[in-house]
Structure 1
Amino acid sequence: MARHISRPKRTAAPALTADSPCPCGLPATYGECCGRFHSGEESAPTAEHLMRSRYSAFAVQDAAYLLRTWHASTRPRHLELDPAMHWASLEIEETTDGSAFHVKGTVTFRARYRHHGKRGELYERSNFQRQNGMWVYVDGTFIDGT
């Protein structure tokens, strides 16, 4: 006689709250860090903060924020995020310019993810510039990590 072993049901990851650790990796809560940018309460003060907040927006599936912080000349009309993509960590490798005193900046980063159970990494140098006084993402170049 075959036995049926029941497996525990998988539960969804707990929802991100203002008190959750921020997905961008800085030692602050989501509400104190990237959440304030996502809500529109504040704008990212540097290119690196914008990079981190955009990473967090991918992590929380906030397509509206991503579109709002994309340069008008390179922004897609629509953005559909894959719910199977789970962003795991962000590592900033280098920033060039991008402070409150600059109009352009670059951020080189590694973003690790899991997609359908497989691990992957996005290694990119992103270009940012100020548009109407706010930092926006312009474009990026993938870097061969080998």
Structure 2
Amino acid sequence: MAQRRGINREHDCLLVARDRSGQTLDFYTGRGQVTVAQLHRYLPPVLPADVLLISDGAIAYRHFAEQAGITHEAVNVKAGVRARGAIHIQNVNSWHSRFKSWLVRFRGVASRYLINYSGWQRLLDARRLTTPARLLYAAVQLG
């Protein structure tokens, strides 16, 4: 069990990319803060060329955006800034909150299965699994 709060080597990192329509992609990057190399590995294949990347103030996002040639806006959450007009990260924060609340019922999951649980959460979050039959169909299709 982790002894410290926040982003550190005791916690797994789940990189979440989410657009305003609710489309969500996530990537398990290991433990600790996300690195520029990890951002280069996961984001370029899924980001359109004209994207506006909005992130927290972590320096890795700024360096990644500069190297990838994409527009970047950072929201300084540590300074108490939650939004600048339409620039905010609340869409991702709310997804993380729902995911953490949903995970509580499992009383802990192994890191190696975290991406499977996040995939399950993405399906539930999309509200496409409204009947037991649809849930069974999704399970069979994924398996």
Output the TM-score relative to the length of structure 1. 0.30
Which structure has the larger Rg over C-alpha atoms? Answer: 1
Output the TM-score relative to the length of structure 2. 0.30
